[in-house]
Amino acid sequence: MKRIGIFLESLSLDDTFAFARLADERGFDSAWFPEITWSDAFSLATAAAMGTKRIKLATGVVGIFSRSPALMAMSIAGLDELSGGRAVLGLGTQAKTYVELWHSAKFEKPVARMREYVAALRKILQNPFNLTSYKGRIFDIQGFVLTVKPKAQRIPIYAAAIGPQMQRVAGQVADGVLGYFYSVKYVKEKLIPRLREGAERSGRDLKSENFDIAVGFPALVSDSDQRYEMIKPIVAVFTVAVGSSPFYRTILEDLGFSENVKAVTERMMDGDVEGAVKRIPDEMARQVTLCGTSSEIRHRIDEYRSAGVTLPLLNPTPPYAYYPLFPKHLPEKLGAGRFDYGGLREQVRSVIVSVAD
């Protein structure tokens, strides 16, 4: 089977356990556990580890402002030991608004922080049972001792990157990049050149090092004539997610949808989700999601693989869902949005059963 991964997001502990086992049985490469508000990533990944044998267990992603490098090293080393060497660490800065409003941390120097964070983690993870120190401009760690030895010789570290600077950092210091909402055009023309630029700064050859290019997408399996209508609300959500990254919008504009982006933004800011959805043509939704019949989605995955993506990641999305990604993202009158848990469970199962090669 060609490598493919799945996000297990916003699911109960029991459902996470069950779907991780199903994905393991179906040959998925990895299950990715986001960390925003539903649960911390390590609890869910640990639950999944207990019921699986082969699938990799990845944080997708945990924030570098909410945990110190020392705490992160302990958490990922513990997961790796428990899972028998199957842990993958996905790191991200996450949105400035919830870093500051939820974690009471100051969002500053995110690019430099990621570079140092990875360096500090590497030093700690590769030196268990010994005193480890790291001195940088941001982090000053003195005499830390990691008393868990990871099973893996080198735990893979991925840097979540939507913008160009972080993409270059991923190419410079990480084992992989984790993107989201990318078009095929963006992967070929923007992402890969930036990764190579970053690699050149540290004298790396990404191909020889098996650098992983992982990209996630809102995913919805359906043969309905309304399938694109079902996923357009979440496309509208990312179109206006400039507080997380302005580059979601840039990706769409580079595809020629500038006028649509403007219209969607105006209506979403008025709280008019239905009006925003009407300004999203099917092709705009198709270019940045994996939506359609199982055969259509497999074809789209092949397009991304041909463009250079080594690990496509499907994020099952319930029909017609929309919700804020961070504080003050959507107008207050939209509240917590629309989210169908039963629809999510159905999509997770559909994606696992019907999309795997």
pLDDT of residue 1: 63
DSSP 188: I
- Bridge partners (DSSP) of residue 180 are 216
- Would 295 be classed as within a structural domain? yes
- Would 254 be classed as within a structural domain? no
pLDDT of residue 5: 98
What is the span of the domain harbouring residue 207? 5-220+289-320+348-355
pLDDT of residue 37: 67
For residues 125-136, give the mean pLDDT.
97
Q: Is 153 helix (H, G, I), strand (E, B) or coil?
A: coil
Average pLDDT across the chain, whole number = 95
CB proximity list for 284: less than 8 A, separation 6 or greater: 235, 252, 255, 257, 260
Count of structural domains within the chain: 1
For residues 92-98, give the mean pLDDT.
87
Percentage with pLDDT > 90 across the chain: 90
- Would 129 be classed as within a structural domain? yes
Q: What is the pTM of this model?
A: 0.95
Dihedrals φ, ψ of 278, to 5°?
Answer: -65, -20
Reported confidence tier of residue 94, pLDDT bands at 50, 70, 90: confident
Reported confidence tier of residue 273, pLDDT bands at 50, 70, 90: very high
CATH code: domain of residue 122: 3.20.20.30
pLDDT of residue 290: 98
- Would 231 be classed as within a structural domain? no
Count the alpha carbons within 13 Å of 147 in the hemisphere toward its beta carbon. 0
Summarize pLDDT for 23-76 with one digit per residue, the tens.
Answer: 999 999 999 999 976 789 999 999 999 999 999 999 999 999 999 999 999 999
- Would 136 be classed as within a structural domain? yes
Reported confidence tier of residue 101, pLDDT bands at 50, 70, 90: confident
Reported confidence tier of residue 357, pLDDT bands at 50, 70, 90: low
- Would 256 be classed as within a structural domain? no
